[in-house]
Amino acid sequence: MLNKEDMNKYHTQDSQGYSQRTEGEFSQSAGATAKTVGGMAWRTVKTVLLVLIITGLLVFVSVMSYILSFRDVVPPNLSEAALSFSSKVYVTNDNGEEVEYMSFFANENRVWVSLSDIPAEMQTAQICIEDHRFYQHQGVDWRNTMGAVAGLVGGGSNRGGSTITQQLVKNLTGEKQVSILRKVKEIFTALNMEGGYYQDGEYHSGYSKEEILETYLNLVNYGGQNQGVEAAANDYFGKHISECSLAECALIAGITQNPSQYYPYYYPEQAKDRARTVLGRMLELSEEGELTDERLVNITQDEYDAAMAELDAMTFGGQEMPEEETTGETAEEAAQEREYDEKWNWYIDTMFEDIVRDLMETQGISRDLAVSNIYNAGYEIHCAMDVDLQTDMEEYFLENTDMLPADQAIELGFFMMDPYSGKVMTVIGSRYERSGRLLYNNATRATRQPGSSIKPVGPYSLGIHTGTITYGSVLNDIPVPGYYGEGSTEEGPSNYSLDYTGSMNVDRAIEQSQNAPAAWLAKELTPQAVFDWMTNQLHFTTLDAERDPNLAPMALGGLTNGVTVRELTAAYQVFANGGVYHEPYTYTYVKDHDGNVILDNRPEANPGEQVMSVDDATVMNKLLQRPIYGSWGTATSILSDLPTQIFGKTGTTDDEYDLWFVGSTPFCVAGIWNGYADVQAELPDDTVAKDTWRAVIQHLLENYDWSDKQWVLSENVFEATFCRSSGKLAGPGCYDTAYGWYSPDKNPGTCNGGSDHIARGSVSGSAAPAESFAPSLAPTLEPSDLPSIEPSLEPTEEPSSEPSSEPSTEPSEPPITEPTDPPVTEPTEPPVVEPTDPPVVEPTDPPVVEPTPPPSVDPEPVVSDTPVFEPEVPAA
């Protein structure tokens, strides 16, 4: 038992009488605390290590699974690369019969020769400088590969790691990007090319070294347009490769490392220096006894010295093959070439590029091999071209130069397609006469800023599709805060007049091509949603995923790269055919040399994609007739003398650098671009695009019968009167009304004639927030029984700043005075001229002048030719 003294060893008191721990107690407590902290730290370390190990294992398993997925990769077919059969092109004549139109001749710059006709010096030179262990490895030189991968991981170059087999894989597939995964796939492909592979459960033996080397020496680029050693020997030395000396073989072999840098005609000294490197390598390996395979040759010091001397004296003058060595009749070949060039038009250019693209995509081959196959693989190509129509169009554009500005530097691109099938009807790539083949095409290759022509295929069609707006919905017509991007406080965009009306109905915003309403709609939908709509549903391929999902690009076409006439025109087809997107096609199908169909665009293979409902497409069709038939439309001049229905949209970029018109008649959808090809300068005539489009359509109507063609329009869409003050269907108290088009399941409900009315007035600069102009959604109405009012096909005068003198067919009611909703006076806007927006990269269409209307009558003539948009959803 402890006595009091012993107890005091453990319990002490301070001066205040409070109990204190003794020194021993402090020591014990500190030890316990340290032990606890140490235990917690160790548990934390163990947890972190365990997490790292598990994560590492998961990553390792994932990477290995991905790598092993390449194990059974099928190598390219070398037999196709060696074919030398011309491909034939067939077209359908007036009797519906398919007849041969032309042939794609075997490429004159690629002459295939067997390995036995290639001298051992040429084979040895190529192997020594590219892959001296070629006959020893099984497709991959692991020693060099490990060094290349280490360099790639370290951020350096992977050059020098590829064998001839691997380089052949890259040339055949076109996969040349620098990445570890691409290298892994290349390695497995090379191993399977030499060692064999399984495909669909069946084993296929690999290719021999001779087959691989022969294909490589015939396929690789040797400078300029020379594919293969025979073409190079013909071009540089005027002889067959079998006749080339050691020095000449060394020079040809050296070019492959960099065909541009070592092109003998441009850089003769660099080419000869590279050849000296090749000869030095051949001598070095010969003296070291590395060239042990009997298929290779060893050179001596004397042979090396003689070749070096020959190189010093070598010149390049574009020698031609001796005439006795050529084959065929010169006069006959010349005549054949002239006929060839005459038949090779803008349509054939486009079809050729389409086939190249589709071969690359479907067969996973390089562009070079795809081009080579068209010339040499004996394809049977069924072209969709109407020869008479294409010939007529090319002659028309060349002969009717008066419809274009006198400035010859102003270019054009014109593209027309059948909206019901996707068949390309005609392509015009330039205003000038053709002078070659595969020329630069302003209709299919050039990308330009589309200006306001982007609005229908961007925010407006998406707005209709989602039900955000309907035909007469009220949109803001005021500046958008922060319009120019994240972090910006600057407002925009500007309208042509630099003034704003406060709010504007969808039909008038499209008719007058006002910028601010389109920007507010794009903001409501979000630029990313508009971007996704254009790329996923309407198949634009040139948009920039990083920079284009912003207001200026998505609302007004200020795109990073621009669009092609082809893709913009194709997007408009959905408003003519009931909402179906067809990929434009220039050929129906292609068969290989064995008769197998390898590419197919026939309707059963490509039926088209329904990207929006027939109802929504019909409403858009009607809305896009407003620029043509509306009193203040931006393209009313197109109506002149055209006995057909039309919808369309103008496009004008900042400072009028680019002018567009894209539109449709019942027989086609067509787009045209005008601008300077190589510079940015203001065009002297801002009406040239729409005037040229009108002239072309008039020519087609006068010379062809299109009476069997009709737009696909929904019978469900009905015409009804709407209230301009609310955007809803007109009620008894609505005095400012117009006709619009509506889908039964997407109409805005009925206006109450009072609180539904949205205050409107001219606004300059900042205005009320978006919420104050957002229409509210109301219950759906039954379809209206009002009669349809079709647009007049009589010639229409250019837009005027004066009110229309024609009697209005829109419903008129006695003036109504309401305490809270006084009669609205539409603001006067500037006269119509195809506008250009002051703000950067913001296309503007013609300024619009709206006369002041009487309170009970909409001053514009009633034309229900504009697509209907769903009601705008109120901002949160």
pLDDT value of residue 867: 37
Segment-wise mean pLDDT, segments of 10 residues, the chain, 876 residues? 52 53 56 65 81 81 64 76 82 93 74 92 96 91 72 54 88 73 81 84 88 92 88 92 96 94 93 97 95 94 96 78 51 67 93 97 89 90 98 94 73 97 98 90 96 97 98 96 80 85 96 96 97 98 95 94 98 98 98 94 94 98 96 87 92 87 98 84 79 95 95 97 96 94 94 82 34 33 35 36 37 37 39 38 39 35 35 35
Q: Is the separation of the CB atoms in 537 and 611 below 8 Å? A: yes
pLDDT value of residue 35: 63
* Element containing residue 440 per DSSP (H, E): none
Q: Is the separation of the CB atoms in 704 and 644 below 8 Å? A: no
Which residue's entry shows tokens 């070629």? 134
Note the helical H segments in 590-703: 614-623, 626-629, 688-703
Which of 14, 253, 234, 230 lies closest to 132 in space, CA to CA?
Answer: 253
Q: Is the separation of the CB atoms in 451 and 653 below 8 Å? A: yes
Residue 757's φ and ψ, nearest 5 degrees, are -65, 135
Give the integer Cα–Cα distance in Å for 376 and 80.
9
For residue 746, give Cα distances in angstroms to 175, 465, 495, 743, 872: 49, 10, 29, 5, 11
Which of 657, 723, 649, 726 lies closest to 693 in space, CA to CA?
Answer: 649
Burial of 557 (0-12, 13-18, 19+ CB in 10 A): buried
3-state helix/strand/coil string of 150-186:
HHHHCCCCCCCCCCHHHHHHHHHHCCCCCCHHHHHHH
- From the centroid of its chain, how far is CA 791? 35
Q: How many residues does the chain have?
A: 876
Give the integer Cα–Cα distance in Å for 543 and 549.
9
Which residue's entry shows tokens 């609302």? 555
> What global pTM score does this model have?
0.68
Q: Are strands 87-92 and 380-383 parallel, antiparallel or unpaired?
A: parallel
pLDDT value of residue 436: 85
Is the backbone of residue 318 left (phi > 0), alpha (psi -120 to 50) or beta? Answer: left
Burial of 764 (0-12, 13-18, 19+ CB in 10 A): exposed
Give the integer Cα–Cα distance in Å for 316 and 403.
48
Degrees to nearest 5, angle at CA 402 with 397 and 408? 80
pLDDT value of residue 123: 96
3-state DSSP assignment of residue 383? strand
User: What does 464-501 look like in DSSP terms, one character per residue?
Assistant: HHHTS--TT-EEEESPBTTTTSTT----BPPPTTS-B-
For residue 675, give Cα distances in angstroms to 75, 656, 747: 46, 9, 41
pLDDT value of residue 15: 52
Which residue's entry shows tokens 């996973």? 364
Note the helical H segments in 624-752: 626-629, 688-703
Give the integer Cα–Cα distance in Å for 714 and 578.
7
Structural domains of the chain, with CATH: 1-68 (no CATH), 115-321 (1.10.3810.10)
Note if the bond before 553 is cis, omega within 30 degrees.
no
Burial of 532 (0-12, 13-18, 19+ CB in 10 A): middle
Which residue's entry shows tokens 């409501």? 524
**Where are any strands of DSSP class E within 495-556?**
502-505
Which letter does DSSP use for residue 873 in this model?
A: P
pLDDT value of residue 667: 98
pLDDT value of residue 176: 65
Which residue's entry shows tokens 């003689």? 306
Give the integer Cα–Cα distance in Å for 623 and 472.
10
Signed CA dihedral, 582, 585, 588, 591: sign only: negative
pLDDT value of residue 764: 33
What residue type is 112 in one-letter code?
W
Give the Cβ contact number of residue 90 at 10 Å: 17
3-state DSSP assignment of residue 852? coil
Q: Structure tokens of 85? A: 């059969």
Tell me the sheet residues that pair with 19: 13
Residue 691's φ and ψ, nearest 5 degrees, are -70, -40
pLDDT value of residue 306: 96
User: What is the gyration radius of the CA atoms in the chain, in angstroms?
Assistant: 37
Q: Structure tokens of 65? A: 């699974």
pLDDT value of residue 226: 86
3-state DSSP assignment of residue 268? helix
pLDDT value of residue 160: 56
Give the integer Cα–Cα distance in Å for 468 and 626.
20
For residue 349, give Cα distances in angstroms to 344, 439, 587, 733: 7, 7, 12, 61
Give the Cβ contact number of residue 93 at 10 Å: 13
pLDDT value of residue 705: 95
Give the integer Cα–Cα distance in Å for 834 and 633.
10
pLDDT value of residue 772: 31
Give the integer Cα–Cα distance in Å for 772 and 802.
31
pLDDT value of residue 330: 56
Give the integer Cα–Cα distance in Å for 443 and 620.
25
Give the integer Cα–Cα distance in Å for 157 and 117.
35
Contacts of 396 (CB under 8 A, 6+ apart): 696, 699
Which of 805, 845, 843, 849 lies closest to 831 in space, CA to CA?
Answer: 849
